[in-house]
């Protein structure tokens, strides 16, 4: 089980690892997220998450919510019957920790800045 130990503008600490970029958490592994379109979360951004059959995906849209999940991304997930939460990044990190602690298969895609 993986937890986000700290997050602030432009920074995440997950376990002993530190990241100064946007991240994805898939199957208890963290990887750098290089988005397709600046401040937009497109279907291409979540395909690797969806292919691993999550119960829920948590979107962190930045500390001020500037990054937007596009309608076609939500349709893509709806078509696959994947649930999702869309929150500012601080709340998304808290929700991720709470839900992963309940042993659910929870993935996240988190924007580090605005």
CATH number where 12 lies: 3.40.1230.10
Q: How far apart are CA 100 and CA 94, in angstroms?
A: 10
By residue range, what is the domain housing residue 23?
4-110
Residue 59 reports pLDDT greater than 90: yes
Residue 77 reports pLDDT greater than 90: yes
Q: How far apart are CA 81 and CA 6, in angstroms?
A: 30
Residue 101 reports pLDDT greater than 90: no
In sequence order, what DSSP letters do the residues of 13-55 get, joined into one string?
Answer: EETTEEESS-EEEETTEEEE---SBTTEE-HHHHHHHHTT--S
Q: What SS3 state is found at 101?
A: helix
Residue 42 reports pLDDT greater than 90: yes
Residue 1 reports pLDDT greater than 90: no
DSSP state for residue 67 in the 8-state scheme: S
DSSP state for residue 76 in the 8-state scheme: H
Domain count, the chain: 1
Q: What is the pLDDT of residue 66?
A: 94
Residue 103 reports pLDDT greater than 90: no
Residue 11 reports pLDDT greater than 90: yes
Q: What is the pLDDT of residue 90?
A: 97
pTM above 0.75, yes or no: yes
């Amino acid at each position: 089980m993986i937890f986000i130990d700290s997050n602030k503008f432009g920074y995440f600490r997950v376990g002993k690892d530190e990241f100064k970029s946007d991240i994805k958490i898939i199957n208890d592994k963290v990887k750098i997220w290089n988005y397709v379109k600046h401040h937009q979360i497109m279907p291409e951004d979540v395909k690797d998450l969806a292919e691993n059959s999550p119960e829920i995906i948590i979107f962190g849209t930045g500390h001020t919510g500037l990054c937007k999940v596009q309608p076609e991304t939500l349709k893509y997930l709806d078509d696959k019957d994947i649930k999702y939460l869309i929150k500012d990044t601080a709340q998304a990190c808290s929700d991720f920790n709470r839900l992963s602690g309940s042993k659910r298969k929870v993935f996240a895609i988190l924007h580090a800045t605005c």
